[in-house]
Amino acid sequence: MNPALPDHAVLITGGARRVGASIVRALHAAGARIAIHHRNSGSEATVLAAELNAQRAGSVIVLQADLLDVAQLPGLVQATLAAFGRLDVLINNASSFYETPVGQITTSQWDDLLGTNLKAPLFLAQAAAPALRASQGLILNIADIHGLRPLKNYPVYSAAKAGLISLTLSLARELAPQVRVNAIAPGPVLFPETGLSDERQADIVNRTLLGRRGTPEDIAQAALFFAAHAPYVTGQVLAVDGGRSVKA
């Protein structure tokens, strides 16, 4: 069976763990070469890269950068091009997520949440645009259904993801016809490691039409669809949420 992404080069932010790692595995299994970005997850990124390079030598590299430092972002693109000679897919996956109740919001929280979820995707897309134009490539933003339906006590995060959804549509217009730009809006797939009680998690899951949590692999398969099987799709936001976004 021929791979769906033969020798395609993918740069993914926050690709060392959780949903990002699932996306890396799915696209690598489809034949892609992957640049895994991380900020502080170097050990996880190294282990994942070693696992995948054992399957296909030289197919994965690891890159470290603080996405809040915009000056570092062009270097991620340059390192990917140096390793693989091309860039076909940019996946903006890295994200900060935590509560910011009104009355307690700080400017540092604003800068972090808007920086990782909106500012970095914009400036990384801008840096990657020439290479993606050359490859007729794809930008895929990992948004959130709470960019469409704000989550209580998370106004800054919700606003940042709403901005990312709007940025997806704007970039689809700006970079057409050479570059496709789409987004995935996950629902309850992986909850944060801290901050949500079991009761709150159960309530969120019960608000889906399917009545169950999704998996990181659900997001990974949606990413593979956009990367390999949707050449005529751009400017779209796909909710992968078990029907949460349409349930009253």
- Per-residue model confidence as pLDDT tens digits over 216-231: 999 999 999 999 999 9
Q: Which listed residue (98, 154, 157, 232) is catalytic?
A: 157
Cβ-contact 62, 31 below 8 angstroms = no
* pLDDT tens sequence across 162-218: 999 999 999 999 999 999 999 999 998 887 766 677 888 888 888 899 999 999 999
Most distant CA pair in the chain: distance in Å?
A: 56
CA distance 169 to 159: 16
* Full set of structural domains in the chain with CATH: 9-246 (3.40.50.720)
Q: What percent of the chain has pLDDT over 90?
A: 88
Residue 157 appears among annotated catalytic residues:
yes
* pLDDT tens sequence across 20-32: 999 999 999 999 9
